[in-house]
Structure 1
Amino acid sequence: MFSAAAVIPAPPVLVPELCGGAAESGAPDPARAVEQLPGGATGDARGVGAGLRGAGAGDPRTVLRAAVLDVLAALAAEGGSWTVLGTGQGQYGPDTVGTFLGYGVDLAVALGPAASSEPDPELELPVLIAGWARGAVAPATNVEVRLLPEETPAREAAAFGARLRAELDAGPEPRGVLVIADGAATLTTAAPGYLDERAPAVQRALDTALATGDRAALLELDPALCAELVLRGRAVYQALAGLFGRDGAVAADTRYQDAPFGVGYHAGLWRPA
């Protein structure tokens, strides 16, 4: 039975070992200066993470990681196994083992407690983040990952989410869903995709939809525009809308919403209301 969905981003800086310890010290990192847009991280004053940084909470990576771990702990408290949705190709089960070697550190992560195969260095980032998340908050949990191609049309993405919901509801045990996706990567000149003047408005619409449980607004995200804005999580967010398509309403609980590196990040929980 489906219980809840957690939404987190997928930056490698979530993993402390990939940060060389700098993110844990709380000391500012000049190499990762944050460029803010007028009115807040994504063009307004609603960024949950921005206020914490402004109050001297320390390195933005630490703030982001704490919020993500908070969301993951809430999902783990629901019990049961997880199904993870991310962008990419393929499906991976609890026997999967990967490594962050491609990101600079040979850190192995697994999707299940009994996984013992050699780490695969070619796994896509959402699979690796899923393994890190499981190990961080629910090491006894089995996880499967289902990836959607970035170009998946909105209707197909929503149908994918609806089929997953029917599958999860058919079982007697609690099942959680972990959505791993990023927003626009073109929010500032320091962003991976540089600054696109159209990006802040689209990111604000996405932020509002995720914060309010607005499934219709997620389905209205334009695939072509999102591709131009390097909003790679678009199809996954639309699968989230399909996952909750049968519910009368959504109870959304936002724990983090900000763009510390010019990329829109959201961490929160969705539950049927």
Structure 2
Amino acid sequence: MLVAAALVSSPPILVPELAGSAAQETADLRQATLDAGAALGRRARTWLAVGIGDALGTVPTTAAGTYAGFGADVVVTQSPDSPSTVDRLLPLTALTGAWVRTNAASQVRLEVRTVPAATDADDCRRYGLAVRAELDASDEPIGLLVIADGATTLTDKAPGSFHEDAPAVQATVDRALRTGDARSLAALDVETCREIGMNGRAIWQIAAAAMEPVSSATELYSGAPYGVGYFVGLWIP
């Protein structure tokens, strides 16, 4: 049964060894992410994570990965008994989920599923409803780890430079995530989100379908360091 969702973001600078001089600037984001993971871990010892990938795919609970490709050989695992063999090609979504699990809820077993950023809204809804049906069919409590980033065009120095539509769309998303407004997330325009670099749109639409109605929503962090929108929070169905 689906019991809760933790909403986190996936920047590699979550990892202190990769943050360098940005470690202090991103400390609040990092701590909020760990707090969200710990809260989800208290509710469920089995997690399913959904996040962006190049294709529809599954990373099993046995996986272990490393952030070596981002500059530091920090190994993270998806279960307490993951093998010592490290997959150096795990997608960032899987690394993020495993980092949260490893550092905030080490008792948890985590499966990761990836979805392309271009997935249209109708397919996202179908995917989310299928996830909800699958998790509710289980007798054990299961937590959903939602891994999604906001617009990459919020300032002139952002990775995608500034886009005039980005601040308003990001504000809409932050408000919807803060309040558990699944309908507003479902209504996000695919093309607009693509233009402003909001790849997390597909994942939030999946989460909206899987979690609606959201009975309780809590914001732990909302901000845009380096011009990219990040949100951390908890949803209870």
TM over 0.5: yes
Structure 1 residue 82 corresponds to structure 2 residue 47: yes
Q: Is the 8 A contact 2:153 2:228 kept in 1?
A: yes
Corresponding residue number in structure 1 for 2:19: 19
The structural deviation recorded for 1:125 is: 0.6
3-state DSSP of counterpart to 1:261: helix
The structural deviation recorded for 1:118 is: 2.2
Q: Which amino acid aligns with 2:183?
A: A
3-state DSSP of counterpart to 1:209: helix
Hey, what's the Cα distance between the residues in 2 that align with 1:122 and 1:189?
A: 32
Moved more, 173-182 or 134-143: 134-143
Give TM-score scaled by structure 2 length.
Answer: 0.96
Query: Structure 2: any 5+ residue segments left out of the alignment?
Result: none
Corresponding residue number in structure 1 for 2:83: 116
3-state DSSP of counterpart to 2:226: coil
The structural deviation recorded for 1:117 is: 4.8
Q: Is the 8 A contact 1:111 1:131 kept in 2?
A: yes
Tell which structure's C-alpha radius of gyration is larger: 1
Query: Structure 1: any 5+ residue segments left out of the alignment?
Result: 25-58
Corresponding residue number in structure 2 for 1:56: none
Corresponding residue number in structure 1 for 2:161: 194
Corresponding residue number in structure 2 for 1:175: 142
3-state DSSP of counterpart to 2:62: coil
The structural deviation recorded for 1:141 is: 1.2
Hey, what's the Cα distance between the residues in 1 that align with 2:174 and 2:202?
A: 15
Pick from 18, 26, 30 the counterpart of residue 65 of structure 1.
30
**CA root-mean-square deviation:** 1.2
Corresponding residue number in structure 2 for 1:6: 6
Q: Is the 8 A contact 1:244 1:250 kept in 2?
A: no
Structure 1 residue 254 corresponds to structure 2 residue 219: yes
Pick from 185, 203, 225 the counterpart of residue 236 of structure 1.
203
Hey, what's the Cα distance between the residues in 1 that align with 2:26 and 2:138?
A: 37
Q: What is the number of residues matched between the two proteins?
A: 235
Q: Is the 8 A contact 1:160 1:239 kept in 2?
A: yes
Hey, what's the Cα distance between the residues in 2 that align with 1:148 and 1:79?
A: 23
Q: What aligned pairs does 1:122-141 form with structure 2 within 5 A after superposition?
A: 122-141=89-108
Q: Which amino acid aligns with 2:222?
A: Q
The structural deviation recorded for 1:23 is: 5.1
Q: Is the 8 A contact 2:48 2:110 kept in 1?
A: yes
Q: Which amino acid aligns with 1:251?
A: S
Hey, what's the Cα distance between the residues in 1 that align with 2:44 and 2:178?
A: 24
Once the two structures are superposed, what CA deviation does each residue of 1:32-89 show, in whole Å capped at 9, x if it has no partner?
xxxxxxxxxxxxxxxxxxxxxxxxxxx2211111111111111111022000010013
Runs of 4+ in 1 over 2 A off after TM superposition: none
Corresponding residue number in structure 2 for 1:265: 230
Q: Which amino acid aligns with 1:2?
A: L
3-state DSSP of counterpart to 2:32: helix
